Amino acid sequence: VLGKLLRIAARLDYGDEIGRRRVYAVTRDMLAHPQLPPSLIVRCLDMLVEIMPSECELVRVVVEVITDLREPLEDDADADAEAAADTTQSTKSTQHSLQRALAKEMAPAEGTRADLVDMRCLALVVGMLERVRGDFEDNSTLEGVLADLIVPTVRRKKPAIREQGLVALGLCCLI
């Protein structure tokens, strides 16, 4: 039902600024919600394509959503790393090694949760890249997505995550 509503809403006229902002807020919140089914991600992105004034804005919004989705995972790791860094010297190399050690010591449940978040973020990136028509060089935000999300997932050992990362990398190459 929600998919049909999104399909209808994507065809509406958004000349009214208040209505456009309201639909933007609802759509962005839907994308940021962790329980949104993957089949509705595409519909929400279609909606954002219609609402956003430019591709750069679309990319910016998707990157914000990805940051919101990944933030709880990074906050947990950063808090643990900061607590450990207070007892030792606080150099950058020490913090990086602590974060790597924490990632290796991550509980299986946390690792599974991190994998699900990464798959969701990759689904968002793939959907966004399928809708972007501009040059890669024209949008510097895409370079950050490539470096921070796509390349690390291509290096992962899990086949499903690596496959999605390769699809995203291929779409980056086609832009």
CA distance 163 to 175: 19
- Average pLDDT per block of 10 residues along the chain, 175 residues long: 82 80 90 87 90 89 90 53 39 41 60 85 92 84 88 91 93 88
The confidence score (pLDDT) of residue 38 equals: 85
CA distance 77 to 74: 5
Residues 146/151/154/160 CA torsion (nearest 10 deg): -50
Two tokens, residue 113: 């949760």
The confidence score (pLDDT) of residue 144 equals: 87
CA distance 171 to 173: 5
**Packing angle, helices 108-131 and 38-51, rounded to 10:** 40
Instruction: At 105, give phi and psi (nearest 5°).
Output: -90, 5
Whole-structure pTM over 0.85, yes or no?
Answer: no
